[in-house]
């Protein structure tokens, strides 16, 4: 019998054969670990909606950073949670604020062996929870916010951040931050732009993680879920303004956007496997409905296959451990 002449199953026959012809491979350096540091706590605080994830103390984050370095992760993305907030998010601009002093402490611990990235946004630091300052009508003032982002970028670079990551989706944010960094002599600090960040319901657990004060939503500045072409305009603008890397957020629910962006971007593309996507996997696994490890690795493979060079995920350390075992 000669039919069928083509038998793709030949290349799927054994694990070794499948490994030989795999088109997408995972490596620890593909993954960036987001981590939360909370001012004023003495023990790591579990985040109920994100099992296995904690708000770190200023001491425990150093151990987490050391582990990330030793596992060969691609980077550590830091988020700071201050003890007090105000309308302008001044704690985020304070060189001695929780985020900036954590950047310095982590860099002292890991040196050049692990890229330390910093979230450049005001939402964790404002008493209203928005990503910028508000005008008299209670809406986010884009241009007034840009002035603060510029200052924030310089402060984070001076604290030792290897990468600054503006996530507020303000128009013009990359250009303003790039100019401020260059004028301050930080020519070598790259910008990872949250270029296509959607106003997503998948961010719910993150709000608990950063003790968000937000009332309402961020739809006036984050992207609307039905829009696809708009993402390419946003990415194009950030590239034109000098972004060194661009990000799509969320990841799994926006694989088409990841793919579209990867097609047009001439800089590395990141995808954020966000808190809600993480929480759904954890909840299903806890109920025995899925094989946790297999689903996590399949999800990461899908993001990489779609075109993301690296993935921010709360599973990063575990994934690196599994890959080392294999």
Catalytic residues: 197, 249
> 3-state secondary structure string, the chain?
CCCCCCCHHHHHCCHHHHHHCCCCCCCHHHEEEEEEEECCCCCCEECCCCCCCEEECCCHHHHHHHHHHHHCCCEEEEEEECCCCECCCHHHCCCCCHHHHHHHHHHHHHHHHCCEEEEECCCCCECCCCCCCECCCCCECHHHHHHHHHHHHHHHHHHCCCEEEECCCCCCHHHHHHHHHHHCCCCCCCEEEEEEEECCHHHHHHHHHCCCCCCCCCCCCCECCCCCHHHHHHHHHHHHCCCCEEEEECCHHHHHHHHHHHHHCCCCEEEECCHHHHHHHHHHHHCCCCCHHHHHHHHHHHHHHHCCCEEECCCHHHHHHHHHHC
Burial of 172: CB neighbours in 10 Å, binned 0-12, 13-18, 19+: middle
The pair of structure tokens assigned to 155 is 């402060």
Please report, for residues 39, 42, 43, 110, 252, the alpha-carbon distance to residue 60 in angstroms, rounded to integers and kept in the order given. Answer: 12, 9, 8, 14, 30
Distance CA 181, CA 150 (A): 8
């Amino acid at each position: 019998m000669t039919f069928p002449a083509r038998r793709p199953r030949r290349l799927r026959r054994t694990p070794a054969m499948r490994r030989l012809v795999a088109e997408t491979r995972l490596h620890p350096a593909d993954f960036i670990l987001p981590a939360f540091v909370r001012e004023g706590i003495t023990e790591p605080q579990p985040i109920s909606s994100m099992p296995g994830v904690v708000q770190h103390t200023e001491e425990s984050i150093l151990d987490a950073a050391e582990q990330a370095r030793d596992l060969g992760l691609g980077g550590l993305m830091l988020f700071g949670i201050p003890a007090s907030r105000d309308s302008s998010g001044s704690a985020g601009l304070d060189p001695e604020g929780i985020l900036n002093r954590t950047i310095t402490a982590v860099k002292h611990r890991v040196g050049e062996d692990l890229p330390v990235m910093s979230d450049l946004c005001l939402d964790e630091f404002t008493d209203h929870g928005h990503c910028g300052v508000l005008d008299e009508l209670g809406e986010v003032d884009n241009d007034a916010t840009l002035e603060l982002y510029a200052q924030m970028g310089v402060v984070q670079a001076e604290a030792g951040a290897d990468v600054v990551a503006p996530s507020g989706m303000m128009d013009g944010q990359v250009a303003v931050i790039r100019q401020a960094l260059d004028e301050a002599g930080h020519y070598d600090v790259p910008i990872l732009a949250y270029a296509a960040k959607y106003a997503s319901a998948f961010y719910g657990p993150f709000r608990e993680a950063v003790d968000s004060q937000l009332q309402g939503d961020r739809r006036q500045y984050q992207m609307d879920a039905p829009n696809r072409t708009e993402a390419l305009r946003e990415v194009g603008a950030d590239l034109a303004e000098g972004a060194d890397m661009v990000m799509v957020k969320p990841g799994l629910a926006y694989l088409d956007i990841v793919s579209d962006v990867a097609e047009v971007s001439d800089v590395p593309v990141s995808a954020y496997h966000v808190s809600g996507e993480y929480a759904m996997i954890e909840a299903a696994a806890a109920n025995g409905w899925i094989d946790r490890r297999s689903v996590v690795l399949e999800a990461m493979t899908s993001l990489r296959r779609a075109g993301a060079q690296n993935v921010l995920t709360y599973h990063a350390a575990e994934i690196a451990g599994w890959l080392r075992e294999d």
